[in-house]
Amino acid sequence: MLTPGLLRAATGSSTDNAALYAPHLAAGCELYQINTPTRLAAFLAQIGHESAGLAVVEESLNYTPAGLMRTFGRRISNEDAQRLGRIDGRKADQRAIANAVYGGEWGQENLGNWPGTEDGWAFRGQGLIQHTGRYNARRLTRSLRDRLGPAEVPDFEAEPWRLQEPRWAALSACDFWDRTGCNALADGTDFDALTRRINGGMNGADDRRRRWEMAKQALAEHPIAAPAPPASVEPAPAAAAPAAPAAQHHQTEWELNNPPAPEKPMPLPIAASLAIGLAQSLFTAFAPLAQEKLTKELGRHTDRPEVAAQISQAAVSAAMALTGKPDPVEAVMTAKADPVIIQQVQTSTLDELEKLAPLLERMAALDAAQFQAEEASREAAERRAQASSNDQDPFLTRSIVQMVVGILIGGAVLTGFLAWLKVDVQVILGALIALIGAVSGKFQTRYDHRYGSSAGSANKDAIRDAALSQIVRRP
């Protein structure tokens, strides 16, 4: 199905590399059902970018000091970046860089690397989709041994360098693709979601899309046959039991452990406040950059709890769907205990945040514009007061006192009169409210003229409420 010629045309690799990887990728794609033109085009585009056209199976850490700070600024000090990075006349100390950025507390918490060792270097990114960290090496060993047998698969935790061998570089990429549900994303042709699933962001998005178009073109010119068992697979003996149905036989580990999420988010049978609390617990298990992004965005809208509720419900719903747990509390606890699931919850939550980004940006812009308008109104009022020979400030002070006294006296008289007439209490209250409105309404115009008007906030609130209604109604 996947020949060297097709692989070379789809990835832009050299002839030698295409011949080297074609048999291993063909076997892996069949094993993990990356076996339709849509899936294969997306897969080849992503591994083509990650491996620079099948030429690189080892992460390069040959950064300049500026590149180190830009890429790993939260995990390396400026002093270490200057000391270890590449400058004119000196190569980067890649081993020390790897131990710095993938080691320490961050490496232990996020990658399972042992502190005080050279795990950062030993478990740097390797393979066609670069596996990083001791935890992922251990998980990959288990996964491939489940499929191929313990005797055939190395212990990548003990020998992580073997991920650079063509067979394991290819199969590790196929396993990652399957484990993270990329087939389903490829079927939906959401290529940007695939990029975020693999990269954690949108790094190299233009190159990935260019390679995607190249792979689709290559597959159109070299059509592949319908999925079928490889020719090398021997037929089952006549006495063997009937084979399991195809859907059951080909069901992947990812599909077994992570049932597909429904088209619409699962409704949370809990109050918004509890959903927010559960989501905050989930957020603590996210990667630091994801936590920072969520905290920053939600912090901009603390006066609108609907925003936090929407993001929180999306996160908890994702945990429920991925764990298969109908109870949200149990789903959150299960998700936090599984680094694979928590990564998917993180991706789903950031996707939801990205969908809401235009509305949230509009709301933030309205807040800023309203603040500037109110400040300008106050400044204009102050200039009028300074230019006037008769500042209304003392008059307004007396007016406030007079208005309060007048409302009290008038309200008491009106209440007594209406009570004497035995008028219903609700009518009395309505009359009092009308009196207060009449007095304060006339006072407001003069007050706004002196101190600046905030009447525009009503328009702002109407627009914000309309935007928030879109958030709440989002399916």
> Do 18 and 8 form a contact (C-beta atoms < 8 A)?
yes
Torsion of CA 123, 128, 130, 133, to 10 degrees: -40
Sign of CA dihedral 14, 19, 20, 23: positive
Convert the pLDDT of each residue in 41-87 to its tens digit.
999 999 999 999 999 999 999 999 999 999 898 899 999 999 999 99
Convert the pLDDT of each residue in 223-248 to its tens digit.
765 454 443 333 333 333 333 333 32
* Residue 4 pLDDT > 70: yes
The closest of 96, 210, 334, 280 to 326, measured between CA atoms, is: 334
Which residues, including other chains, have CB under 8 Å from residue 113's CB and lie 6 or more apart?
A: 102, 103, 107, 119, 120, 123, 133, 134
Q: Is 90 helix (H, G, I), strand (E, B) or coil?
A: strand
User: How far, in Å, CA of 81 to CA of 69, rounded?
Assistant: 7
> Do 153 and 141 form a contact (C-beta atoms < 8 A)?
yes
The mean predicted confidence, pLDDT, of the chain is 78
pLDDT, position 41: 95
**Which of 200-209, 220-229, 249-258, 259-268 is the most confident on average?**
200-209
> What are the residues facing 126 on neighbouring strands?
58, 131
Tokens of 446: 């003069």
Tokens of 226: 């319908």
* Residue 13 pLDDT > 90: yes
Q: What residue spans define the domains of the chain?
A: 4-55+135-148+163-221, 65-122, 258-365, 392-473
The closest of 352, 374, 388 to 455, measured between CA atoms, is: 374
The closest of 474, 453, 71, 148 to 310, measured between CA atoms, is: 474
pLDDT, position 317: 84
